[in-house]
Structure 1
Amino acid sequence: MNYPTINAFGMSPTKLEIPHTEEEQILAAVPEIRGGRVGQVHLDRPVRFGQNLHTDILLIYLLRECATAGISVHWAVDVAPKWDTRLMHHLPPPQRGAKTDPKIESWIDSYRHTSFFYRRGPGFYLINDSRYSKYAKRYRLRLDGQSDRFEQIQEVCNISSSNQEIHELISKIEPIGVVFRLSDWVISLPHRMLKWPVPSWSV
């Protein structure tokens, strides 16, 4: 599997190395990002989507966590994905190249950080989605047990080994694009909005 090495740079000039295999690097980077110890993430060579679905979805996981933390990601694509990249227009896009695939061009041109996010309120989750329009669609998940399931799919999960409650939640929110699925691998797509303000039409 030819996947890029992650170099995570801290807020200080010191470079933080993550010396693991490819998938382990992504998993090791996430706690560093969540802990505020990373200022930028660089992928050392272009991504070739489609070689390993688990690694592909882990990359989306990494991009979502970077979006939540508000840090930049420097990366490029060599082989574009077959799936609809419009689902990812809220996530940091790859860099534009000399021969950029139209799907990637669309991602770059349509990127808006605040186009898909969630916030946790008293007794509910509020999900705002304006990836396809400046007018946001709003979805509310009540904290009636369903919220715990939503927290579980913040991490990459394998649906074949998940319980019935996870299956039920995914069946409800996958049709509206709240989760991303590659084969049996599933991840929640909206990033958590931790800081205000956001545009008035997104609230």
Structure 2
Amino acid sequence: MSGLPTDVPHRRTGVRVEVPGPLDLGGQGRETARAVRFLRECAGLGLRVTWRAVGRPAYDLSALRHLPPPDELPGSGAELSAWRDGYGFGTLYHRRGPGFVTVMDRREPGTAARLTLDHPDLLAAFDRLHDPTPLDLLDPTGREAVGLLAAERLALVSEGWAVSLPPRIRRWPVPCTAI
């Protein structure tokens, strides 16, 4: 068992993961949310991923710079270079406590933000978005909470689907203060 979502075909060997087909980042709802979840889980496990992207996203790609960058990205080479330059293990992650989640966000160079989610509605939405979720299945309070998470770039909302962005790091580097 690889510990990764099975809806994205992949081959795992040790700390390397190869995705044979392209992952859709073009904002096509469910497929984009699945791709982001897969990459988020790989990041949380500290895996090296070989993959390529298809589709031109309408959203800001810098929100995904905490995820392993693709080998190929449609569009300008500058976006791919920025992703590769901005990528670093642990630039965005969450830790869970009793009744709260703390998120560390260092995706923007020279900044660090620590956010604590302790409101029950935000926690419920954050937990629900662990798996790709259609927005029309959420009640108005859930949709509002997802909107707040998206505004803080903690969730990606695309074509009526949403997924959380911060991975839960399961394998810390030694020393863990390197993050």
Moved over 6 A (4+): none
Match of 2:65 among 89, 92, 108: 89
> In structure 2, what is the Cα distance between the partners aligned to 1:194 and 1:48?
25
Match of 1:102 among 78, 84, 87: 78
Q: Compute the displacement of 1:79 (Å).
A: 4.5
Which residue identity lines up with residue 7 of structure 1 in the other structure?
H
CA offset digits 1:44-69 (Å, max 9, x no partner) = 24446438432122111100011111
Which residue identity lines up with residue 92 of structure 1 in the other structure?
P
Task: Give identity over the alignment, percent.
Answer: 24
What is the match of residue 4 of structure 2?
none
Asked if the contact 2:125–2:146 (Cα under 8 Å) also holds between the matched residues in 1, the reply is no
> In structure 2, what is the Cα distance between the partners aligned to 1:122 and 1:133?
31
> In structure 1, what is the Cα distance between the partners aligned to 2:39 and 2:156?
13
Which residue identity lines up with residue 111 of structure 1 in the other structure?
Y
> In structure 2, what is the Cα distance between the partners aligned to 1:162 and 1:84?
24
Distance 1:127 1:51, change over 3 A: closer
Q: Is structure 2 residue 7 aligned with structure 1 residue 9?
A: no
Gaps of 5+ in 2: 1-7
> In structure 2, what is the Cα distance between the partners aligned to 1:189 and 1:51?
15
Q: Is structure 2 residue 67 aligned with structure 1 residue 64?
A: no
Match of 1:122 among 98, 101, 110: 98
Gaps of 5+ in 1: 12-38
Asked if the contact 1:44–1:75 (Cα under 8 Å) also holds between the matched residues in 2, the reply is yes
What is the match of residue 19 of structure 1?
none
CA offset digits 1:96-143 (Å, max 9, x no partner) = 68x863222211121012111110123311011110134311111116
Corresponding residue SS for 1:57 = helix
Q: CA RMSD in A?
A: 2.5
Asked if the contact 1:149–1:165 (Cα under 8 Å) also holds between the matched residues in 2, the reply is no
Q: Which has the larger radius of gyration?
A: 1
Asked if the contact 1:89–1:107 (Cα under 8 Å) also holds between the matched residues in 2, the reply is yes
Distance 1:88 1:72, change over 3 A: same
What is the match of residue 131 of structure 1?
107
> In structure 2, what is the Cα distance between the partners aligned to 1:57 and 1:167?
16
What is the match of residue 131 of structure 2?
155
TM-score by length of 1: 0.72
CA offset digits 1:178-197 (Å, max 9, x no partner) = 11010210011011123441
What is the match of residue 15 of structure 1?
none
CA offset digits 1:145-198 (Å, max 9, x no partner) = 542332111111011121233212112221111110102100110111234414
What is the match of residue 177 of structure 1?
153
